Amino acid sequence: MEKLTIHILLVEDSASDAYLLHRIFLHAHQEQWEMLHVERLSEAIEASRDSTSTLDNSQIVSRSQRRFDLVLLDLSLPDSIGLDTLKEFQAAVPDIPVVVLTGLDDEDLALQALAEGAQDYLVKDQITIQRLVRAIRYAIERSEILNQVRESEERTRQALAKEQELNELKSNFVAMVSHEFRTPMTTIRTAVEILEYNNDKLTNDRRTKYFDRVQNAINQMLHLLDEILFLSKTEVTKLEYNPTLLNLENFCNELIDILQLNAGSQHSIVFTFQGESTQAQMDEDLLNCILTNLISNAIKYSPQNHTIWFDLICKDRLATFQVRDQGMGIPLKDQTRLFQTFYRASNVGVIQGTGLGLTIVKKCVELHGGHIQLESEPNVGTTVTVTLPLQ
């Protein structure tokens, strides 16, 4: 069986002690060793950090990600003395197991080091091959187990946070549904009552107005139901991503025709296209959902007679969709939370909405492996940019 190489960092300022350990390692044939020797604590920290510097602080570093499997640490070094040496090293490099090297008269210090988290200690004058190999093996194994426990704790913590988030979502959902459905229901009930009891007295114009109100309220509820259904698909089952070959320019032109028809003459949508290729591999329904939501927002949150700009640029294997308006904009404090379910900016006033559109957009963008960016200034306007890979 192939032997696994064990990488050791020896931190020892005494040349003779270091030489002794080298000799012992040379004779320890059960394992394969590789050792780096440094004399100062600062050098030890720097050498250990090299391999893990790209990792996030919260990540648990596995053995394969570390440069060293173990550190043999003398506590008396030129730049640090005693227990502080261990504390400082562990604070800087928390994931590497440490075996402390002490002198004969330092038994107390060794015990304190164990209490501080060292895996073991070796008394320099008493080191034998067997003791050294055993201490190193046990230390590595113990630290692996500790890492696994930490990883499992981290997973449990994440699962709990997810559950908490879901609970929050549920209570938000109940509050929102009772509010968002109650308003159109009340509108319908009032309109129907007026139509039922005052039908003879109503002019044709008034009658049409009440029927329109009923229609609007029903549409509002249907829209809400569609959004909720869509979101539950992304949460409960997996939302399907079915890319097909699309001519993006034609796709956008057709979409704009429909949206312009809905917007009527109160807003004009100006579409421009730049780029070499218009062919893309994307999911038609999801793309439709992204662009419809963004353009509908631009219309909804802009005063009448304002233009909405919609630009498509296909370049460097990316499609960039940009929707720009000169509407009410979004206060800075709200901007980071707009992609959360049900979140609406503080300046929406009486403009209706459920705060689900952008959450849905973000999910659709992620399914395409793209990203979304929003820039906005109150009373100046909003620009949303979605970048998706063409293939």
Smallest gap from residue 140 Cβ to ligand ATP (A): 51
Tokens 């980071």: give the residue.
336
Q: Does 358 bind ligand ATP (CB under 6 A)?
A: yes
User: If 0-12 CB within 10 Å is exposed, 13-18 middle and 19+ buried, where does residue 99 land?
Assistant: buried
328 binds ligand ATP (CB under 6 A): yes
Is position 217 an interface residue for ligand ATP (rule: CB under 6 A)? no
> What are the DSSP E strand ranges found in the chain?
5-11, 32-38, 70-74, 98-102, 120-123, 244-247, 268-275, 279-282, 307-315, 318-325, 371-377, 381-389
DSSP 237: S
From the list Mg ion, ligand ATP, none, partner contacted by residue 184 (C-beta under 5 to 8 A by kind):
none
Q: Does 97 bind ligand ATP (CB under 6 A)?
A: no
The reply to whether 184 sits near ligand ATP by the rule CB under 6 A is no
CB of 334 to ligand ATP, least distance (A): 7
User: If contact means CB under 5 to 8 A according to the sort of partner, which of Mg ion, ligand ATP, none does residue 370 touch?
Assistant: none
376 interacts with Mg ion by CB under 5 A? no
Tokens of 288: 């439709």
Nearest-approach distance from CB 357 to ligand ATP, in angstroms: 2
For residue 32, report the phi and psi dihedrals to the nearest 5 degrees: -105, 130
Q: Which CB sits closer to ligand ATP, 269 or 358?
A: 358
80 binds, among Mg ion, ligand ATP, none (CB under 5 to 8 A by kind): none
Closest CB 328 distance from ligand ATP, rounded Å: 5
> What is d(CA 318, CA 148) in angstroms, rounded to the nearest whole number?
41
Q: Is 102 in the site for ligand ATP (CB under 6 A)?
A: no
Q: Does 327 bind ligand ATP (CB under 6 A)?
A: yes
Q: In angstroms, what is the minimal distance from the CB of 218 to ligand ATP?
A: 15
Number of residues lying near ligand ATP (CB under 6 A): 22
Is residue 282 within 8 A of residue 317, CB to CB? The reply is no
Interaction between residue 365 and ligand ATP (CB under 6 A): no
- The residues that bridge with 382 in the sheet, in sequence order, are 325, 376
Task: Find the part of the chain contacting Mg ion (CB under 5 A) among 96-104, 149-157, 293-301, 325-333.
Answer: 293-301
CA distance 110 to 120: 8
Question: Among 97, 327, 329, 357, which residue interacts with Mg ion (rule: CB under 5 A)?
Answer: 357
Scanning the structure block, which residue is given the tokens 């988030």?
165
Q: What is the largest CA-CA distance in the chain?
A: 111
User: Which positions from 306 through 325 interact with ligand ATP, judged by CB under 6 A?
Assistant: 325
Give the footprint of ligand ATP on residues 271-300 (CB under 6 A).
Answer: 293, 297-298
Cα 256 to Cα 269: distance, rounded to the nearest angstrom: 7
**Minimum distance between the CB of residue 10 and ligand ATP, rounded to whole angstroms?**
58
CB distance 342 to 319 below 8 Å:
no
Binder of ligand ATP out of 6, 286, 330, 367 (CB under 6 A): 330
Nearer to ligand ATP, 97 or 381 (CB): 381
User: What are the helix and strand counts (H, E) for the chain?
Assistant: 10, 12
The radius of gyration of the chain from alpha carbons, rounded to an integer in Å, stands at 33
CB atoms within 10 A of CB 86: 23
Q: How far apart are CA 104 and CA 123, in angstroms?
A: 6
Nearer to Mg ion, 319 or 384 (CB): 384
Q: Which residues here bind ligand ATP, judged by CB under 6 A?
A: 227, 293, 297-298, 301, 325, 327-330, 338, 344-345, 348, 353-359, 382
Q: Which residues bind Mg ion (CB under 5 A)?
A: 297, 357
